Amino acid sequence: MAGLTTQESPSHRVHENIELLHGQLQCLACHDRDDRSQLHLADGTKLAAPQTMLLCGQCHGPQKRDYDHGSHGGMTGHWDGARGGQSRNHCVLCHNPHAPAIKPVTPMPGPVDARRASNEH
């Protein structure tokens, strides 16, 4: 990596916590060579940040298809488009693009046995 960053540069500190666990992908597969905060598609087209759907969808076709049909990714709002829209999560709201596998989470508390609960009162 010599030549890209040095120990002293601020950009090194920004990146030191990044753990890259995303198949064989390297930084420049998604980040622009000259302007790293800019993302690009495989054909070089530059991308505005909220369009990560297009970027991730280049490889993850089935997920992109499911997303487009409302069966992948959390949403809020309306089922009836005539009465209101939907707010959809895009890929990187849930998946860390550098390590996209979802980590285990602590579940909300489970059910309490009704009889036990009333005895405790």
Contacts with another protein by CB under 8 A lie at 62, 66-67, 69-80, 82-84, 86, 89, 94, 102, 104-115, 117-118, 120-121
With respect to another protein, which residue has the nearer C-beta, 37 or 76? 76
Least Å distance, CB 49 to another protein, is 21
| 41 or 92: CB nearest another protein | 92
CB of 105 to another protein, least distance (A): 5
Hey, which residues does 86 pair with through a beta bridge? 77
Hey, what long-range contacts does 88-93 have (CB within 8 A, 24 or more apart)?
90/50, 90/52, 90/53, 91/52, 91/53, 91/56, 91/67, 92/52, 92/56
CB of 25 to another protein, least distance (A): 22
Query: Is 84 within 8 Å of 78 (Cβ atoms)?
Result: yes
Closer CB to another protein, residue 8 or residue 120? Answer: 120
Kindly state the smallest distance separating residue 75's Cβ from another protein, in Å: 6
Q: Which is nearer to another protein, 37 or 119 (CB)?
A: 119
Q: How far apart are CA 85 and CA 70, in angstroms?
A: 13
d(CA 25, CA 97): 10
